[in-house]
Amino acid sequence: MSNEQHVIMDETAIRRALTRIAHEILEKNKGIEDCVLVGIRTRGVFLAQRIAERMNEIEGTPIPWGEIDVTSYRDDRDSKEATAERVEGAKLSLEHLNIHDKKVILFDDVLYTGRTIRAAMDALMDCGRPRMIQLAVLADRGHRELPIRPDYIGKNVPTSKHEEITVALTEIDGKDEVTISQREER
Ligand SMILES: O=P(O)(O)OC[C@H]1O[C@H](OP(=O)(O)OP(=O)(O)O)[C@H](O)[C@@H]1O
Ligand SMILES: O=c1cc[nH]c(=O)[nH]1
């Protein structure tokens, strides 16, 4: 099977999509009052940080942002962590960010089954009581297994289950690029 990667978003496309999403968030929320951004580790964090910078440029006011580690909340990973430990882990990753009664805008790079987002929502609820949670993703590839729908989408990418979306971001991968390829069968 060919494992060729096709670029579906280059650096310019990613930059434009993030700028558009920053404007959409501001429009939907009528500014940044009571909004906080939370990126899901790993790449969601860099997306949240970039959007926070853009929103600051547009509004002239810094918007609080932070990151959350949801690994131990996933339902498809063996977790030996006790509930108290995983709550502590989530709280530690969200340190310095008050989400109580805030409009939390959650960021991830790819949305597929929705299980990561479910895990993130559970983790957030354990850390406080957001007034509202909204979801922003760079690429929505479909195939949801849970009733989760993003509020902000960089690009809708119709895929087959045999394909894979890979997001590269400069901060961690040395370049900005979204590619699609055939999934390696394991
Ligand atoms: O909607 P889902 O089916 O949950 O898939 C989406 C998740 O998959 C990827 O993470 P992955 O677990 O592959 O780890 P990574 O962030 O380290 O790539 C991606 O970053 C999303 O978080
Ligand atoms: O194609 C996919 C599916 C889940 N997560 C990814 O990063 N890519």
**pLDDT of the residue at 24:** 98
User: 111: which DSSP letter?
Assistant: E
Sketch out the chain's domains with CATH numbers.
12-158 (3.40.50.2020)
Along the 186 residues of the chain, how does pLDDT read in single tens digits? Answer: 457 999 999 999 999 999 999 999 999 999 999 999 999 999 999 999 999 999 999 999 999 999 999 988 988 666 667 788 888 888 888 988 999 999 999 999 999 999 999 999 999 999 999 999 999 999 999 999 999 999 999 999 999 999 999 999 999 999 999 999 998 876
Lookup result for tokens 């959409």: 24
What is the number of the ligand closest to the CA of 43? Answer: 1
Ligand 2 atom closest to Cα of 164? 1
Note the pLDDT of residue 75: 80
pLDDT confidence of residue 82:
72
113 lines ligand 1 (CB under 6 A): yes
Contact between 138 and 154 under an 8 Å Cβ cutoff? The reply is: yes
Interatomic CA distance for residues 167 and 108, integer angstroms: 10
140 lines ligand 1 (CB under 6 A): no
Q: Can you tell me the distance from the alpha carbon of 36 to that of 52, in angstroms, rounded to the nearest whole number?
A: 9
Residues in Cβ contact with 54 at an 8 Å cutoff, skipping those fewer than 6 apart = 18, 19, 22
Give the pLDDT confidence score for residue 74 in this predicted structure. 83
Distance from residue 126's CA to the centre of ligand 2 (Å): 26
Q: What is the pLDDT of residue 80?
A: 63
CA gyration radius, the chain: 16
What confidence score (pLDDT) does residue 164 get?
98
Q: Quick check: ipTM above 0.90?
A: yes
| Residue 70 exposed, middle or buried by CB count within 10 Å (0-12, 13-18, 19+) | buried
